[in-house]
Chains A and B, each alone.
Chain A
Amino acid sequence: METPSTTQDSAHPAAVDQRRSFGERLSSDLRLLPVAAGLIVLFVFFATQSDVFLTSRNLNNLLVQSTVTGIVALGLVFVLLVGEIDLSVAATSGVASVLMSKLVIDAGMPVPAAVALGTLSGVVIGAASGRWVTLMGVPSFVVTLGVGLVLNGIQLVLLPRTGRYNLLNSGVEKIAATNIAGASAWALLIIGLILFAAVRLSTLAARRRAGLTASAVQIIVLPLVIVGGLGTATLLILAQRNGLPMPLILYIGILGVTGYVTTETRFGLYLYAIGNNIEAARRSGIKVERIKITAFAITGGLSAFAGILAASRILGVSVSSGGGIGGGALLLESIAAAVIGGVSLFGGRGRVTGALFGALIIATVSNGLNLMGVANEARLIVTGLLLVIAVSVDRTIEKLAGGAQG
């Protein structure tokens, strides 16, 4: 290997990177900034409109309310990244929750096994949709629309004559009703932060070993302060009541895992590559079909799990589980959450943390307007407008970034 001829220092071309415009950075590392700002504005607004809004009890409700939509939205990120969509997520969550209930109530299956099987049913449904989409080359929105209707039908078949399974005292209700308080809650937070720090630390160490520029502040301290601060604040607020609700813990756990998978692993990278340029991905030797099917399976599995969580929270399943026929509010709001959080419907762009913020925004609007005594109609209108604003902001950011992509 010969020596470089350029007079520039042979260290890392950090100087080149600084030329990146603000718009360009806004579209990548700072993409969450506008979404987070929107959430803060909403919080301030509702805090001034209602005394109850910032109470521990209400924030607890708000967070728990956002978990079901949030988990479905996290799942949707996977199919959206590869440039597909799954319109059967709500129906999948409904069928999975009814299946799980049937196994527990009618078949007397232990709850953990029934939850696992219910979730697995979602994985299978998602994989089947994905297989069909990749095999036939048909648009996923049509296939999954059809699958959704099929699942709505199956849900009705699975339900007993009464049209409802009551989950009170079945053991299932314990999932949502469990709270982790006191020392255990702090221990949980610390374990989470240690895992997070470990991942960041290994990044820093690897960069140092490779002789690349590596700022400990940027790679470890700053992220840890932000995540740790948010975690501590949440814990302090919720500790005033019962502690950390189990749905929230599960949600954050899933967020951590999906965040790692999408940003750190080879599979995650391939999701982005396929979503942007499927032909380039294929020519690079990426097994495009397999990755897409896996994405659908993950979406299905997370939707199913979200449905089971919802069933546990409302103590039963019925015709209206999973948003009812057609998916209803659950389907629309989970797609909206992802899009508000900056996940592109055209593939290749977005992050799971965006879906988290999107779900929080939707839950905040719903919760805040509710407290203000505003009717349901207004809630729909505001959420709809937010969605339109969000995609417009997204478009503007893309233009600012100047990335010439469709």
Chain B
Amino acid sequence: MPSDAIQPILSLRGIHKSFGGVQALTDVSLDLYSGEVVALVGDNGAGKTTLIKSMAGVIRADKGQFFFEGNEVTLSGPAAASDLGIQTVYQDLALCNNLDAVQNIFLGRELTGPWWSGFRVRRADCERKAHEVLQRLRLSGISLTRNVGAMSGGQRQNIAIARSILWQPKVVLLDEPTAALSHTAAEAVGKLIRELASHGLAVLVISHDIHQFVIDVTDRIEVLRLGRKVASFASKQVTGEQVVSAMVGGNEEPAGAR
């Protein structure tokens, strides 16, 4: 447990979650810090997505506590999480193919005119702001006015990430952002994730790409196996083999501190 001067932005303590007979998470604790990129790795079914969903308020943990900036919070729903400043990018991205980047980035949070205009979408203001967000992320190559259905997987992933940081969140959770991407597109997403951290966000990213993405992009690696946190590594001081053997349960590393 970190007792440094730096306070974690989000802390999980003793999280349990079961689905019927399946124990998906057992006594998981985790700390996320501003400006740090943490990888969450583990075999299929290890509980990674379940953990992210519990932090996003999509599912309720059976037991355990969440602390946001040191205060205990209840993540009763997705709105509660996003009100705190926790944003999630799911694996399916949740984009509308028939809408353009601006419309997708603002979906559900449009800037609108007064009631007598029928809540007219302030398109120009949305476009301006979307443009700024993309610039901030060094993504100005993405067209704002093309339907995202006609875009590449990498561009779509980038738009989904841009969408998640629109209202300046403090924590971003990403579920396998590189799963369907080519090597170059995955590298670009990795750069983007570092960019988020450099703006002071805490980032938690799930990935199966241990050897490239996880080792290169993240600062810290947390390993889940069968719903338990079994190891924690500093990315710079570990090899892919060590991480993988912790995932599948070879010779176990003691859960080292950061």
Contacts and interface: CB of A to CB of B under 8 A. Distances in A.
Interface of A: 1-2, 4-6, 8, 10, 12-13, 16-17, 19-20, 24, 28, 203, 206-207, 209-212, 260-261, 264-267, 269, 272-273, 275-277, 279-281, 283-286, 348-349, 401-405
Given A16-B143, A260-B118, A267-B118, A280 B94 contact: yes
Contacts of B90: 283
B119 to A, nearest CB: 4
Nearest to B145: A17
B122 interface: yes
B123 interface: yes
B236 interface: no
B147 A8 contact: no
B110 A13 contact: no
B112 A5 contact: no
16 contacts: A6-B135, A12-B131, A13-B131, A16-B143, A203-B123, A206-B124, A210-B124, A210-B125, A210-B127, A212-B127, A265-B112, A266-B121, A269-B99, A276-B99, A286-B108, A401-B150
A210 B128 contact: yes
A283 B78 contact: yes
A279 B97 CA distance: 12
B62 interface: no
A332 to B, nearest CB: 26
B108 A284 contact: yes
Interface in B78-125: 78-79, 90, 92-99, 103, 107-110, 112, 117-125
B150 A24 contact: yes
A275 B98 contact: yes
Contacts of A280: 93-96, 107
A273 to B, nearest CB: 5
Contacts of A402: 150
B98 A405 contact: yes
A94 to B, nearest CB: 30
A12 B135 CA distance: 11
B149 interface: yes
A1 B94 contact: no
A297 B58 CA distance: 31
Interface of B: 78-79, 90, 92-99, 103, 107-110, 112, 117-125, 127-128, 131-132, 135-136, 138, 140-147, 149-150
The majority secondary structure among interface residues of chain B is: loop
Contacts of A13: 131, 140-144
Contacts of B147: 24, 28, 403
B151 to A, nearest CB: 9
A206 B107 contact: no
Given A12-B144, A212-B127, A280-B93, 18 more contacts: A4-B140, A13-B141, A24-B146, A206-B124, A265-B112, A266-B120, A267-B118, A269-B99, A273-B99, A276-B98, A277-B97, A281-B96, A285-B78, A349-B98, A403-B147, A403-B149, A404-B97, A404-B149
B148 to A, nearest CB: 9
Which of A1, A2, A265 has the largest count of B CB atoms less than 10 A from its CB?
A265
A129 B75 CA distance: 35
Contacts of A285: 78-79, 108-109
Nearest to A286: B108
B109 A10 contact: no
Contact of B96 (A206, A267, A277): A277
A194 B121 CA distance: 21
Contacts of A349: 98
Contact of B146 (A5, A20, A281): A20
A207 B108 CA distance: 22
Given A203-B123, A402-B150, A283 B94 contact: yes
B118 A261 contact: yes
A30 to B, nearest CB: 14
A284 B103 CA distance: 12
A269 B97 contact: no
Which of A4, A206, A269 has the largest count of B CB atoms less than 10 A from its CB?
A269
B97 A276 contact: yes
B211 to A, nearest CB: 28
Nearest to A1: B136
B124 A264 contact: no
Contacts of B79: 285
A281 B107 contact: yes
Nearest to B147: A403
A206 B99 contact: no
Contact of B107 (A2, A20, A28, A284): A284
Contact of B99 (A203, A212, A272): A272
A266 B94 contact: no
A289 to B, nearest CB: 15
B123 A206 contact: yes
Contact of B124 (A212, A261, A286): A212
A301 to B, nearest CB: 16
A267 B119 contact: yes
Which of B96, B99, B118, B140 has the largest count of A CB atoms less than 10 A from its CB?
B96
Q: List the 9 closest A-B pairs by CB distance, nearest first.
A: A284-B108, A280-B94, A206-B124, A403-B149, A210-B128, A210-B124, A285-B108, A276-B98, A16-B143
B4 to A, nearest CB: 28
Given A6-B138, A20-B146, A261-B118, A266 B110 contact: yes
A267 B107 CA distance: 11
Which of A1, A24, A281, A284 has the largest count of B CB atoms less than 10 A from its CB?
A284
A10 B135 contact: yes
A274 to B, nearest CB: 9
Contacts of A281: 96, 107-108
Contacts of B138: 4-6
Given A12-B131, A16-B141, A265 B118 contact: yes
B168 to A, nearest CB: 11
